Every structure is written in C-alpha cells, then in structure tokens.
Amino acid sequence: MCLNLRLLDAMVVLSALTALCGEAAAANWQPVATYQGERVEIDKTRIARIGDGKTMAWNRLMLGREESIPNSKDKYSTVQALNRYDCEKGSFATTKRVFMRDDKVVSQETIDSPKEMTAAPGSVDEKLLLEACKKRTVGEMQKVADAVGKLAGGAKPEAEKIAEAPPKAMYADMRSATETKAPTTRKVQSPSYIKHAEAPVSSRKARRNQPAAALAELERIHWGYEGEGGPANWGKLRPEFATCASGKRQSPININEGIRVDLEAIKFDYKPTMFRIVNNGHTVQVSVGNGSSINVMGKRYDLLQIHFHRPSEERVNGRGFDMVAHLVHKDYEGQYAVVAVLLETGGEHPLIQTFWNNLPLEVDQDLAPNVAIDVTRMLPESRQYYSYMGSLTTPPCTEGVLWLVFKQPAQVSPEQVDIFSRLYRNNARPIQSANSRLIKESR
C-alpha cells in the first residue's frame, strides 16, 4: 500500500520490500489479470510510497507451468518483480526479479540500471501502476508496518538464503508486449514481466477458432496505418486490442449535430517545462515535465505528452484538416482527457517549429533538448470547444476517454506540414461510428 513516510523511514521500507520477497506470511497477493492459465498479481502488503510521487511494489507472474533457465538444471514457475512506479508520469522500472519454483527461490537478479518504461494505456502494466499508486486505508498501512517490524525482529526470508547471482539468461528486459524475448524458443509477448493482458471472452473464443498458424502470423504483425497491420485489422492482432473492433465508443468521429450549450471553460494550468522528443514509429511524441494540468468537469488531469497526426483524425461537419495535435492528459484514477488542436495551413507555428528543430535522426531515438517550452503556445486564441466521450485512437483503443476538441484551428506553415509528411504520409485512424453519442459544443 501507499505507506506515508511519516509512519516509517523510506530506507527501512525499501529494505523491507527488497528482503521480504520470499516471506509468505507478509504477502497478500491480489489478482490483476489472468490469461490462458497465467495469473498476474500484486502484493498489497508490500506497496510503499518513497516520495516525489513514486511508489515501490512487488508483483508476480504465475505461469501455471515450469520453464527452464538456459544453461542450468533449474526451473521456475513464478517470477516476482520489484517495480518502482512514477505515479505522476505513468511510468515504471523493474529493479529486481526473483525466479521461484514451489515457493522456493531458484535464482534472482538485481538490476543496477533499470530502464524506465511507460505503462501503455489499457495494459496490465497500467493496471498494476494504478493499484500501486492508489490511496490505502489505515488498516492496510498497518499490515506493512507489522511486516517491517517482523523483518526487523530477525525473521530471515527465503530470498536471503541464496547468493545474489543472476541467471545467465532471463527474460531480457521484461518489457512491452511487442518487445519481450523469452529464455526459451517459445514466443512470448508480455508487458513488463507479464505474459498477456486479459482478453475479452469474445476475443478468446474467436482466437480459439482460428488455426494456430494463423494466430502466430497475426501476432507477428506490428500495428500501423496500412497493410496487414492497418486499422482494419487492429482488433485481430492482439487479444488486448479487441476493443479496437468491438468498442462502441471509438475515436475519432465526425463531429456534427452537437448540442450548443454554455460549456464551462477549460482551466489550463500549463507551466514552462523541459521536454523529451521521440519519433516512436507511429508519430512524433513530445513528453513534458510534471506540473502542467487542466481542470474540467470537476476533475484535474495532468499533461503527459503531445503527439501529431496527419491528416487530422477528427472531422468537423465532414471537414478534415491538414494535421492535428493531441495533448494527452490523465487523472489520478487513470482516466484520460485529450485536448485536440486542429491545424490548418497558414503561418508558421512557433512551438511546432521548436519541436521540428529538435527532431531525432533515428526512429526510437529519445532526445532531451536543453530548451524550455510554454505549452500554452500550442493552443488557439479562442477556447471554445466540442466535447464527447470516446477512446484512444491507437491500440489498445481504450474507451472512457474525454475528448475536448477546439473549434478554432491553429495555423501551421506548409513547410512544417511537409516536414512531418516526410516522416508520416498518413498516420490517422479512419473515422469511427458515432453510435448516437451525445456531442456538446460551446455556443
């Protein structure tokens, strides 16, 4: 649980979290997701805040079978991982992994330079992050205090009884679904150290009816905007992408027939910030520092990142635009709000030019320019907007997203559009059915 540092010193908590990995009496494993016999869980008694909006938590993956460690006679059936979560940024890093068989530790490894990764929307990683970051009751906090006290009193956990020698090969980085490599030749896809997110029942049934070879071929294809991995096939590529095909509140939509009302003003509280920029293979994405937010409909959403599509994904009364900028926000409960700034050809956009000046030379090259930006310069002068409920416009197409689309477009120069088009000729998802959704617009 999120233990307040006023109750226990942070270093004591971290020491306890690291050492208690094998002590069954201290654990309270709660399921987060299951898939084909595999189960992902989080230990609610070993979650602790460590300050600066960060939390440490133990998670585990129960395989339901045994796997061999290469170049070793040892086998394991459970992987436990100590993750550090950044609750504000929505990211995590694995700092330690423990491999177990029959509740006994067979090997473990401490990661000296853990890689920070974003918890993808709708993924098991995001579910674990939300569970690790949410507020706890006093009773839950007392459990971890008791566990720490037991450790301090001399209890020696199973994990401390073996040497800290990592196996010669393990799950490489236990990273995202499309990047994970397994220690055996069996193809595995897993967010973090997780194998599969739980798929909807309809998706599981459909996949069981497909030949194994066809499934393997689908899982080989990476999602994109054309060809076999294009939008028409997104829902077939992964179980966790099923909502892309079956969802009833998908985005983008053609915004028309909205009701004209006095919509509340969106309260923007954007701070000057440094930024990171990456061409991630789907778009140019700009991640910003902490502290910028919006307030709307009684909720605060923190700004995470800005990315771009060409042409605009949204249409207004059937009209498309040259580009669109999506400003992605998330609240404490993990719900998303996206502010869309439509872009039409005209004068040069100063902030976009700053981004283009710092474009990485390679795909997936993440740069941190020594330049501060004011994100309010991304917004048009008029703050009137359309509002509707939709989804993320990229897999896994998570629904429940609040969309706030400015009525007034901002201008971008032909040269700036051409620069982006040299990277992405078309990275816009086609229009989705509105399904009689209520659309509001400022009058």
Task: Give the pLDDT of residue 436.
Answer: 93
> What is the C-alpha to C-alpha distance for residues 440 and 387, in angstroms, rounded to an integer?
5
This prediction's pTM: 0.57
Residue in the block written with tokens 């109750």: 7
- At residue 36, the pLDDT reads 56
263 and 216 in one domain? no
Beta bridge partners of 255: 316
Strand partners of residue 373? 273
Do 386 and 278 fall into the same domain? yes
Q: Which two tokens stand for residue 346?
A: 């005209």
Is 289 within 8 Å of 274 (Cβ atoms)? Answer: yes
Structural contact between residues 272 and 373, judged by C-beta atoms closer than 8 angstroms = yes
Tell whether 174 is covered by a domain: no
Classify residue 172: in a domain, yes or no. no
Instruction: State how beta strands 299-309 and 284-288 pair.
Output: antiparallel
Domain boundary among 136, 161, 186: 161
Q: Is 123 in a helix, a strand, or coil?
A: coil
The closest of 297, 245, 302 to 270, measured between CA atoms, is: 302
Domain boundary pick from 133, 161, 189: 161
Model pLDDT, residue 199? 39
Residue 339 lies in a domain: yes
Give the pLDDT score at 3.
43
CATH number of the domain encompassing residue 269: 3.10.200.10
Whether residue 342 is contained in a domain is answered as yes
269 plus 361 within the same structural domain: yes
Domain check: are 63 and 139 in the same one? yes
pLDDT at 62: 82
157 shares a domain with 15 = yes
pLDDT confidence of residue 167: 34
Residues 240 and 261 in one domain: no
Could you tell me the two tokens for 66?
């045994």
Flag whether 310 is in a domain.
yes
What CATH number does residue 115 fall under?
2.40.128
Answer yes or no: do 419 and 308 share one domain.
yes
Q: Which residues of the chain are under the pLDDT cut of 50?
A: 1-9, 11-13, 16, 20-25, 148, 151-152, 155-191, 193-208
Residue 191: inside a domain, yes or no? no
Active site residue 326: no
- CA 54 → CA 61, 80, 134, 283, distances in Å? 22, 19, 11, 28
In a domain, 322, yes or no: yes
Print the domain residue range for 236. 201-246
Q: Domain boundary at 212, 246, 280, which?
A: 246
178 assigned to some structural domain: no
Total domains present in the chain? 3
Q: Rounded distance, CA 411 to CA 323, Å?
A: 10
Question: 152 and 61 in one domain?
Answer: yes
Q: What is the pLDDT at residue 102? A: 79
Do 224 and 301 belong together in one domain?
no
**For residue 321, what are the CA distances in angstroms to 110, 343, 353?**
50, 6, 19
Residues 258 and 338 in one domain: yes
Q: Which one from 196, 282, 307, 349 is the annotated catalytic residue? A: 282
Query: In angstroms, rounded to a whole number, what is the distance separating the alpha carbons of residues 323 and 330?
Result: 23
pLDDT given at position 131: 85
| CA gap 252, 324 in Å, rounded | 12
344 and 265: one domain? yes
The pLDDT, as a whole number, for residue 194 is 41
Same domain, 38 and 135: yes
3-class secondary structure per residue, 140-204? HHHHHHHHHHHHHCCCCCHHHHCCCCCCCCCCCCCCCCCCCCCCCCCCCCCCCCCCCCCCCHHHH
- Say what the pLDDT of residue 415 is: 98
Q: What is the pLDDT of residue 136?
A: 58
Question: What does the CA dihedral 82, 86, 87, 91 come to, rounded to 10 degrees?
Answer: -90
Identify any residues that bridge with 279 across adjacent strands, giving them in sequence order.
284
pLDDT of residue 48: 84
Which residues neighbour 245 within 8 Å (Cβ) at sequence distance 6 or greater? 234, 235, 236
